Amino acid sequence: MRLSVSPDTFPPRGHEAKRLSIVDAAAGVFCREGFAGANIDLIAAEAGVSRQTIYNHHGDKEKLFVAVVRDLTERCNAGIFATIATFPDQPKDLEADLIGFAVRLNQNCICNRDGKFLRKLIQTEGERYPELFAEWREQGPGRTWPAIAARFARLAYGGYLAIEDPDVAARQFLGLVNAELQTTFMLGGTPREDEVLQSATNGVRTFLRAFGKRRSAASVEKQSALAGV
C-alpha cells in the first residue's frame, strides 16, 4: 500500500484519484458555462474519464455540482485559516506586515484557482441552491470574518491600532485592500501580482491613516506644529 502522495500525475491512478479529477474538471466547466450550460460529456473529456464513470461516482449532475461546491468551500476555508494564522500579532513594521498579510490572503485564498471558482459559483448559482450557499455563508464569511476581526482586536489591545469596532474594521480592511481589483474580480479575471501588491499597499496605507495610532498621532502633532493651529 504505497501512499503515492504524488500530487498530479497526468493519467490519474485509482478510484479516488478519478473522483478528484472529475470534481476538478467539473469545477472548471461549471464555472465557465454555468450549471445549465455545463455539459457532462465535456466534463468527462476534461477529466479524462468516460461519462459513465461520472455517473458511477456522483449519480447525477446536481449531486456532482453539490460535491464541487462542498469541495471548494472546504479547501478555501483551509487556505484562509492557514493564512489567518500568519496574521502579524506582534508586528515589527505594522504597515509592511499588514501589506504582506493582505497579499497572502489575496494570492492564496481569493485569486487562486479554488477561490476564483468558488466565488464565481456563488455568484452565478447562489440563488438556485439557498441551503447549500447558506452553509457556505456560515462556514465561510461567518467564521473567517470574526477570526480576522479577532486578530485586529488583539492588535488594538496591544496598542498598535485605534479601533472601536473590530468587525467593522476587518470588513473595511478587506474592502480597502481589494478596492482596486473589483473590476477584474467582476469579470472573473485574475489580477497580476503587482496589481495585488499595489492595491494592498494603497489599502493598508489608508487603513493605517484611519486607524493607525502612532503614525497618525505623530503626523497630527507634526501638522499642528507646522500649521500652528
- Closer by beta carbon to DNA, 18 or else 104: 18
Q: Supply 181's cell numbers.
A: 481589483
Residue 119 CB, nearest distance to its own copies (Å)? 7
Residue 12 CB, nearest distance to its own copies (Å)? 27
Residue 88 interacting with its own copies (CB under 8 A)? no
Binds 183, which of DNA, its own copies, none (CB < 5 to 8 A, cut-off by type)? its own copies
Residue 116 interacting with its own copies (CB under 8 A)? no
Residues that bind DNA (CB under 7 A): 1-3, 11-15, 18, 38-41, 48-53, 55-57, 59-62
For residues 124 to 143, the per-residue mask of contacts with its own copies, x marking binding by CB under 8 A and - elsewhere, is x-xx-----x---x---x--
Is the torsion defined by CA of 129, 134, 117, 65 positive or negative?
negative
**Rounded to an integer, what distance in angstroms lies between the CA atom of residue 201 and that of residue 102?**
9
Piece in contact with its own copies (CB under 8 A), picked from 12-20, 46-54, 94-102, 210-218? 210-218
Which of positions 2-41 make contact with its own copies (CB under 8 A)? 32-37
- Closer by beta carbon to its own copies, 88 or else 126: 126
- Closer by beta carbon to DNA, 15 or else 143: 15
- Closer by beta carbon to DNA, 31 or else 153: 31
- Closer by beta carbon to its own copies, 8 or else 127: 127
Binds 210, which of its own copies, DNA, none (CB < 5 to 8 A, cut-off by type)? its own copies
**Rounded to an integer, what distance in angstroms lies between the CA atom of residue 200 and that of residue 96?**
10
198, 176, 180, 77: CA torsion to nearest 10: 90
- Where do contacts with its own copies occur on this chain (CB under 8 A)? 32-37, 119-120, 122-124, 126-127, 133, 137, 141, 165, 168, 171-172, 174-176, 178-180, 182-183, 186-188, 202-203, 206-207, 209-211, 216-217, 220-221, 224, 229
